Amino acid sequence: MTLLLSNDEVEALLPMPECLAAMEEAYRELGDDRGGNGVRSEILTPTDRPDALYSLLTMAGVVPKFGIGAVRINSDLLTWPQSDAGLRRVKVPAAPNGRYVGLVLLFDTKTGEPLAIYPDGVVQRMRVGATCGIAAKYLARAEASDVALLGSGWQAGGQLMAICAMRTIKRIRCFSPNARRRKEFCAEMEVKLGVPVIPAETAQAAMTDADIVMCATNSMQPVLNADWIEPGMHVSTLKRLEIDAQVAAAANVVVTHVRGAPSVIVRSAGADLARDTEHQKAALSNALKTSERPELAELLLGRAAGRKSEKDVTLFLNYTGMGYQFAATGHVIYRNAKKRGIGRTIDTDLLTSALPS
């Protein structure tokens, strides 16, 4: 039987501590070349809407130790509206009932069979949050307790869940451009985490005296100024263009998520929206020297150095999502679903075939 799980079920099946443990183990496996991460492939085509492109994104990974392979698929209408805070990349929930389309399919490496299918909404932020959490475990000061968060969207919540599992956090300040949204977000996260989460008027105000600065915006221009960085801080960023090269220059230690994960974008004729941002991202990657930085797995395995003193500034560049992360989280989700008997089932024969192919 193949399981069909909802986002709510995935949330219940993937507690952050288990997510962090599985992800860290998976990164160690990857660092020792015992994991497989495929190419990230995105196809962009024009749509009837002049302001939107259709995007079909696939990524896959296998964690042999867990016996799990995963494919993640996103089928989205993308827009790039200009806001007061600059250009943002925004998905349109155009599927029936105003919904988004992101799917994870899990496979058993022993038999090949499809084990589970679920939406990627919850797991998406859990894996991104966990990646930054693991980096902070190895890079942030041991007694770090004060967090600045830039952004108040879906990903921002995952960042807080992860950092609260890794350090004893006493205060969180959050800035995002929309005052009402950041206030709602702070109230919601304070209840969820049991830690004071305070709205800040500016990014600089959120960062003053903070130990850890987590950027989790969908901005396509820098959201923090290198001048605001204080000695001893640990900074992490999710989106290219969210920080600039001055921030990297201000850091004593810079670790990138993964150096070698290939990503290929194919655009058909007329799919030109936001094409400039690809060049900007490539230029920023060059400026940040991401291809020369040590990567997360090397840090975990002791093959790359972390901070050398309490004064060091550390920076983690969490760019380039990997299909591999969905196999690591999928392992936890599937194991717990089976243990607790959660999820609908589909007859696996409907998803397999007597025919070779």
Residues 6-45 that bind its own copies (CB under 8 A): 6-7, 32-39, 41-45
Choice between 120 and 211, CB closer to its own copies: 120
Query: The tokens of 347 are what?
Result: 């007859």
351 binds its own copies (CB under 8 A): yes
Q: Which H or E run contains 190? A: helix 179-193
Distances in Å between the alpha carbon of 310 and those of 87, 295, 313? 36, 21, 8
SS3 345: strand
Choice between 74 and 236, CB closer to its own copies: 74
Choice between 124 and 256, CB closer to its own copies: 124
Choice between 49 and 289, CB closer to its own copies: 49
Number of residues that bind its own copies (CB under 8 A): 83
The stretch among 100-108, 240-248, 284-292, 302-310 that binds its own copies (CB under 8 A) is 100-108
The stretch among 67-75, 131-139, 167-175, 309-317 that binds its own copies (CB under 8 A) is 67-75
Phi, psi (deg, nearest 5) at residue 2: -100, 135
Contact letters for its own copies, residues 77-96 (x by CB under 8 A): x-------------x-xxxx
Least separation in angstroms between residue 117's CB and its own copies is: 7
CA pair distance 61, 68, nearest whole angstrom: 9
* DSSP string of 300-324, one letter each residue: HTTSS---SSTT--EEEE--S--HH
Subset of residues 288 to 327 that bind its own copies, contact rule: CB under 8 A:
none
CA pair distance 159, 218, nearest whole angstrom: 14
Subset of residues 248 to 277 that bind its own copies, contact rule: CB under 8 A:
262, 264, 266-271
Closest CA to 2 of 274, 323, 334, 235: 334
Phi, psi (deg, nearest 5) at residue 199: -65, 135
Query: The tokens of 65 are what?
Result: 């130790």
Least separation in angstroms between residue 323's CB and its own copies is: 8
Least separation in angstroms between residue 316's CB and its own copies is: 21
Least separation in angstroms between residue 302's CB and its own copies is: 19
SS3 236: strand
Subset of residues 101 to 160 that bind its own copies, contact rule: CB under 8 A:
101-103, 105, 107-114, 117, 119-122, 124-125, 153-154
Distances in Å between the alpha carbon of 9 and those of 6, 197, 315, 323? 5, 26, 34, 21
Binder among 3, 23, 26, 61 for its own copies (CB under 8 A): 61
330 binds its own copies (CB under 8 A): no
231 binds its own copies (CB under 8 A): no
Measured N-to-C along each axis, helices 179-193 and 154-166 cross at an angle, to the nearest 10 degrees, of: 30
